[in-house]
Amino acid sequence: MVVGEFTTEVDTVVIGAGPGGYVAAIRAAQLGQKVTIVEKEHFGGVCLNVGCIPSKALISVSHRYEHAKESEELGIKAENVTLDFEKVQEWKSSVVKKLTGGVEALLKANKVEIEEGEALFVAEDEIRVNHGYGSKRLKFKNCIIATGSSPIEIPSFKWSDRVLSSTGALALKEAPKKLVVIGGGYIGVELSNAFAGFGTEITILEGTNTILPGFEKKMSQLVKKRLKKKNVEIYTEAMAKGVEESADGVKVTAEIKGKEEVFEADYVLVTVGRRPNTAELGLDLAGVEMTERGLIKVDKQGQTNVKGIYAIGDIVAGPALAHKASYEGKVAAEAISGQAAEVDYQCIPAVVFSDPELASVGLTEDEAKEQGYDVKVAQFPFAASGRALSLNDTDGFMKLVTRKEDGLILGAQIAGAGASDMIAEMGLAIEAGMTAEDVALTIHAHPTLGEIAMETAEVALGLPIHVAK
């Protein structure tokens, strides 16, 4: 034991105050636990500070800037529209500050004790919290590990002033003139859209044969089409080999379909995935089992092989999504409190804030068929929506996958304006075991994008009103 250390006993300790950790801490406290949360860097974690929230703030500003310049068709003509990127960053930071401050206030309001420092397991029921000025020990009955993930660094692209992770890109003091983006997944595409809207020349290098490989091809093609309208160059089957840095830029070497090419830019952004933050927790001292990828093995309640130790979010199997982490945090907190809670991953929505937005929940057509379902697929175009027309944003469609025998909704995919908000209705429909008829008989307000769900359900029933049968 370190000289001067003292030990505090708590019911539940949560390691990490991101969207999984702080939600778990609040729910555990609501259910009567004495809770301490340990955070070494940011309240709100990656999501609120250097991920979901700041990136969506930049995307929002980018769209407004584009609309200000390009609305002559609507009768709006603006001259000398300028971009003050320093002001953009100030506003983005104000959004982040409000939310992270709100998280801290919520923790305190729920009587969660806060420890700022780095946690390290010293036994299966005890951690040491290292502060800059010393350390203390927390002996717990239960622990929820929610330490999240970090961007993967490629050996040939070490982080620097010119080689950026998503965190670095979000903190740029000015919109670059040219940017090379390695990785055409959701992070790469979202940030490419944002900076392209600010006028940056973007080159995307994606290793597979398509951008956004996790989505159906018809959906990713819509995003690709919009990116090309913004003069974004997209290279698929492109393997980044190395980078040469200088004081004012980079030269990125890539092999594209067997041919070597060099791309010059101000910066290179590397978005090739994330790794779980589990390596420096001392989990071996607690006896916690892990996978070869560094993920923690858990059961349906989030409990590890060690009784009383739970893990949630990016450090366990499944997609690295903030809403998944929050959901798992509630389940773990409820399980600790004696409730019969366990995870049910029937439908985790996936959203990309691209242009247009993409969203998916439940099973795709192919997944449903692979699972042995006899399916019926219905589709409705945004171009037939009065609200989409009034927004001057008609690219896109909604697709509904139903069980043929009874119309049970198995999954839904949406590409188009507002997809990120619209997908929630379909997630609820799947969770509630609803059929296409249930959605079709639900009166939707007019004119709204939400009506597209009703219209698609009517297509599934063979009774469409606003498209020809």
Residues recognised as catalytic = 446
Q: Give the tokens for residue 253.
A: 């070497």
Helix (H, G, I), strand (E, B) or coil at 247: coil
Provide the pairing of β-strand 350-352 with 178-182: unpaired
Residues annotated within a binding site: 56, 147-149, 183-190, 206, 273, 314
Residue type (1 letter), 209: N
For residue 304, what are the contacts with CB-CB under 8 A and spacing of at least 6?
A: 288, 289, 296, 297, 298, 310, 311
Q: In 3D, which of 398, 393, 364, 365 has the Cα closest to residue 381?
A: 398
* H or E element that contains 469: none
> HEC profile for 333-381?
HHHHCCCCCCCCCCCCCEEECCCCCEEEEECCHHHHHHCCCCEEEEEEE
Helix (H, G, I), strand (E, B) or coil at 428: helix
Q: In 3D, which of 460, 452, 457 has the Cα closest to residue 416?
A: 452
Residues annotated within a binding site for FAD: 56, 147-149, 314
CA distance 454 to 442: 7
Residues annotated within a binding site for NAD(+): 183-190, 206, 273
Helix (H, G, I), strand (E, B) or coil at 2: coil
Q: Given the structure tokens 């429909």, which residue do they identify?
A: 429
CA distance 19 to 15: 12
Q: Give the tokens for residue 84.
A: 């003050």
Contact criterion met (CB below 8 Å) for 257 and 237: yes
